[in-house]
Amino acid sequence: MKLLLFFSFCILAFSAVALPVDTLYTYHPNGNVKAMQVVRAGEVVSEMAYLENGGRKHTWDLQKNVVYSYNSFGDMGDSSAAYFLERSPSYTIYQYYGDSPSLKHIERYKDNIRHGKSQYFHRNGQLEAEGEFSNWEKVGIWTYGTENGSRDIHWHIINHGYYEKGISVFYTIVPFLLILSLLLIFGYRYFKRGQYPYFYKLAAILPFALFALWTIAIAALGEAAAIFVMMQTATVVLVLLSLLNVIWAKRLRVKRYVSLPLVFVGLFFYVFLIWIKVMGAIAGAMVM
């Protein structure tokens, strides 16, 4: 045991001699500390950097591959950030809202490419977004939240951009499946009973009834994304049913002079809904 302790002491002593550790300070022209660097064997292994006014700028550690940033990190001309990124291309960055304890985001990088789990937070600490990146792109299921704590799940199967939010499960996928399922179930039952024309009247009225409901909800609540999706789905179903009626008028017992105009009415209404969506996106309103 004594022999083992002796050898351990020798190894530690040798390491201390072989890898000397120094702390270097640099200063701003006004005398405030600019950076405090830990140097081991002639190489900087960690740094704490400060702004000229004394506020924290960033802290990084090569051994832990981690960055704590209180200002923008990696800007052009930032030699300290370039030094770290060159020697540690795979790292985790903790970005704060300035020199405060509030986290802005946590991002993971692989070979200097955003990759792996990321989390984003509102200034009050509530989750803003959480999910996975793969080679700069959002993939899979993401959770998005508001400052008041409400959350929604989005599927990034098409929209992969940094600022895109994918397809909402609660406000897009569920309403779409719900209205489509109901229309298919009722359509099949009415067709089997020989009452398809009555179902077609219901399908023709539904998009406009939903439009009235959506208008009321927008006025009262300020948003009605789920109703908007149901309205779009019902409109597409109306157009498809009208086309089928034109082709199989005798079998479905719906006059072509009724179905054909509704094809164009449905198409016009769908274009109108797209226009509303575009205008809502420009204005920042949540219509979908």
84 lies in the same domain as 177: no
The span from the CA of 96 to the CA of 73, in Å, is 11
Predicted local confidence at residue 34, as pLDDT? 92
By residue range, what is the domain housing residue 210?
170-283
62 lies in the same domain as 84: yes
97 falls within a domain: yes
The span from the CA of 168 to the CA of 201, in Å, is 30
182 lies in the same domain as 236: yes
157 lies in the same domain as 203: no
Structure token pair of residue 116: 């792996």
Task: Decide which of 126, 146, 166 is a domain's last residue.
Answer: 166
Predicted local confidence at residue 170, as pLDDT? 87
Amino acid in the structure at residue 48: M
Side-chain half-sphere of 114: how many Cα atoms within 13 Å? 17
The span from the CA of 171 to the CA of 152, in Å, is 8
Please spell the DSSP secondary structure of 66-128, one letter per residue: EEEESS--S-TT-HHHHHHHHH-SSEEEEEESSSSS-EEEEEEEETTEE-EEEEEE-TTS-EE
270 lies in the same domain as 181: yes
230 lies in the same domain as 103: no
pLDDT in tens, 218-257: 888 877 888 999 999 999 999 999 999 999 988 888 999 9
Orientation of helix 225-247 relative to helix 256-283, angle to 10°: 160
The label of the residue with tokens 């081991």 reads: 40
Taking Cα atoms as reference points, which of 206, 209, 187, 208 lies closest to residue 254?
187
132 lies in the same domain as 38: yes
Taking Cα atoms as reference points, which of 183, 200, 191 lies closest to residue 243?
200
59 lies in the same domain as 140: yes
How many C-beta neighbours within 10 Å does residue 18 have? 8
> What 3-state class would DSSP assign to 26?
strand
190: Cβ–Cβ under 8 A, 6 or more apart, which residues? Answer: 196, 198, 199
CATH assignment at residue 108: 3.90.930
Run of H or E including 58 = strand 56-61
Structure token pair of residue 225: 């994304």
| Domain count for the chain | 2
Taking Cα atoms as reference points, which of 130, 67, 55 lies closest to residue 99?
55
Predicted local confidence at residue 196, as pLDDT? 92
Residues paired with residue 117 on neighbouring β-strands, in sequence order = 132
Structure token pair of residue 93: 């960055």
278 lies in the same domain as 255: yes
The label of the residue with tokens 């020989």 reads: 194
Residues 68 and 59: beta-carbon distance below 8 Å: yes
Structure token pair of residue 62: 């090569």
The span from the CA of 218 to the CA of 226, in Å, is 11
Residues paired with residue 65 on neighbouring β-strands, in sequence order = none
The span from the CA of 231 to the CA of 213, in Å, is 10
158 lies in the same domain as 269: no
Residues 127 and 121: beta-carbon distance below 8 Å: yes
Q: What is the pLDDT along the chain (288 residues), one digit of tens a residue?
A: 433 333 443 443 344 444 567 899 999 999 999 999 999 988 999 999 999 999 999 999 999 999 999 988 877 668 888 999 999 999 999 999 988 889 999 999 999 999 999 999 999 999 999 999 999 999 999 999 999 988 999 999 888 888 888 888 988 889 999 999 999 899 889 888 889 999 999 999 999 999 999 999 988 887 788 899 999 999 999 999 999 999 998 888 899 999 999 999 999 999 999 998 888 766 654 444
Predicted local confidence at residue 281, as pLDDT? 65
Predicted local confidence at residue 272, as pLDDT? 94
